[in-house]
Structure 1
């Protein structure tokens, strides 16, 4: 793990070669970077924020009408504070799990493929249309960024599209972090130390702060930067690059005294994609001893679906037993 003291800002309005070079440097050093001039409409983002607050301000009984157990194998819906685990410990947040909206007659839905299906939307006017429009916009940004990622590795701009993201697995979350009742202790975390599972996370965060990234010698704040998204790479890109690009541990603690909202979209390989090391990866940097879960992303064999299901099953163990392990 390298030492770094800040998260760089990448301006997507710059020359493409310059952007690719900046992304490469960020991915090698911290695995995190902000992007500005990303093209996602500010008014759309504002609508998303307002509607999300409306949803989370409802009483618990109303929100539980969208509980995740009702989402079935699509793994969609609401979970209350403490309902999600990180490293076996409950997180101090509540959230709504969403993803690509698929009809009942879609082949993967008919086949019962996990993480594919319809969303559970709250009865908040404009919520569904706004969320779907936002996911579409950020998914387009994800394709653009993975093109840049290819160039940053000396590959063709469409390399990832051709090999694993033509039909990406898109998972979107809306999280609400209530004020931490013990802000000065290390006992409670909005979300504990973890790495993301896939290729690329594109995070919209509000102005409360609280996101921290693990450097070799310290935790580094990733404070809000106006009109930006925070991007970080996940385990699969770490694996594909042989550890050249870093899937860096991060965590959240809401010490603002206010309600914190965040909106991560996970742009990941297709569910059936077999994730293999890239042709450039001559050596592998093994970091099992450094990782939060003491696991090796490089020892994994199989599809991205295999990997992500193993991971999310640990996040919601009860849901895994009730939904995924039941025979169709």
Structure 2
């Protein structure tokens, strides 16, 4: 069982058909022909490695607590949870560069230096364009107008970008345990080491790095928007034993104030989710939904994102 590779330069109808097939099978697919500059990606990788090679004291100069409600900055190994268990990774959190705000997930980023700032902001702009292109393909795959999601949810998307470093872990098995992404769409850049595994029909598939591609996957919100037709797929990260592993997940999500409603009737499924939850039970805005997720991933930041003015 292989994961599809989709060339974004193909005719829109062909791209849409291939995306639809991938979303109905594995929920994961690779994309090529995305137009993201290779030199930009190389700079991002080099600067990321240089940052994580620093002493912890240097990295903590931009720790997440200094980012406040904007939810930006560095966290050390063990600070982020998946299914209530600490992940064996450290990371940097970024989002759209915005003025200071009382609203959670809105505000300025924390950067170690100006060069890194320019690289990250340029990369986020490039991936935002890819996200819009993918959502047009997803809309066409559902026999909707190509701008359906843009007009209702993603004209001004909520952008979250992460850089993760998985240090060598001895006998520890997992960098990140089994989970689904909670947003709309994830676009992942991997380094050459691999480690990502996708669960399809009770079988774990290695999503091996393919040069020049990104790995894309459905999040729980696209599962909800499509009424379960496109189901978010569990995945995990295998731990590393003798080398660091870097990854760059980019999350393209609905606007914070978007009222998320299904496109059509719910597709009933008897297959239980990995966490026993039901993404179709939620009512409210995407911001309401996301704040509940933040509290589970970073419980120490809960007091900073609760009781915010709406």
Q: Given the two structures, how large is their TM-score scaled by the length of structure 2?
A: 0.96
Which residue number in structure 2 is paired with residue 121 of structure 1?
111
Which residue number in structure 1 is paired with residue 120 of structure 2?
131
For residues 215-272 of structure 1, give each alpha carbon's deviation from its aligned partner in whole angstroms, at most 9, with x where no partner exists: 1221111000110000001111101111110200111013362211100110000000
> What is the rounded CA distance, in whole Å, between the counterparts of 1:240 and 1:21 in structure 2?
18
> What is the rounded CA distance, in whole Å, between the counterparts of 1:291 and 1:64 in structure 2?
36
Does residue 172 in structure 1 map to residue 161 in structure 2? yes
Correspondent of 2:9 among 4, 13, 25: 13
Q: Determine helix, strand or coil for the equivalent of 2:228.
A: coil
2:181 and 2:219 in contact (8 A); partners too? yes
Gaps of at least 5 residues in structure 1 are none
Which residue number in structure 2 is paired with residue 313 of structure 1?
295
Q: CA deviation at 1:15?
A: 1.3
Q: CA deviation at 1:138?
A: 0.5
Moved over 4 A (4+): none
Q: Determine helix, strand or coil for the equivalent of 1:214.
A: strand
Does residue 282 in structure 1 map to residue 272 in structure 2? no
> What is the rounded CA distance, in whole Å, between the counterparts of 1:66 and 1:286 in structure 2?
44
Aligned residues: 309
> What is the rounded CA distance, in whole Å, between the counterparts of 1:135 and 1:91 in structure 2?
24
Which residue number in structure 1 is paired with residue 27 of structure 2?
31
1:169 and 1:268 in contact (8 A); partners too? yes
1:286 and 1:296 in contact (8 A); partners too? no
1:92 and 1:188 in contact (8 A); partners too? no
Q: 1:302 and 1:325, CA in 2 relative to 1: closer, same or farther beyond 3 A?
A: closer
Which residue number in structure 2 is paired with residue 68 of structure 1?
64
Q: Determine helix, strand or coil for the equivalent of 1:39.
A: coil
> What is the rounded CA distance, in whole Å, between the counterparts of 1:64 and 1:316 in structure 2?
16
Correspondent of 2:99 among 92, 103, 111: 103
> What is the rounded CA distance, in whole Å, between the counterparts of 2:230 and 2:307 in structure 1?
37
2:173 and 2:239 in contact (8 A); partners too? no
For residues 34-79 of structure 1, give each alpha carbon's deviation from its aligned partner in whole angstroms, at most 9, with x where no partner exists: 0001000000000000000111111001111111111110001110
Q: CA deviation at 1:312?
A: 1.6
Does residue 54 in structure 1 map to residue 50 in structure 2? yes
| Two-structure CA RMSD over aligned residues (Å) | 1.4
Q: Given the two structures, how large is their TM-score scaled by the length of structure 1?
A: 0.91
Q: CA deviation at 1:203?
A: 0.4
Gaps of at least 5 residues in structure 2 are none
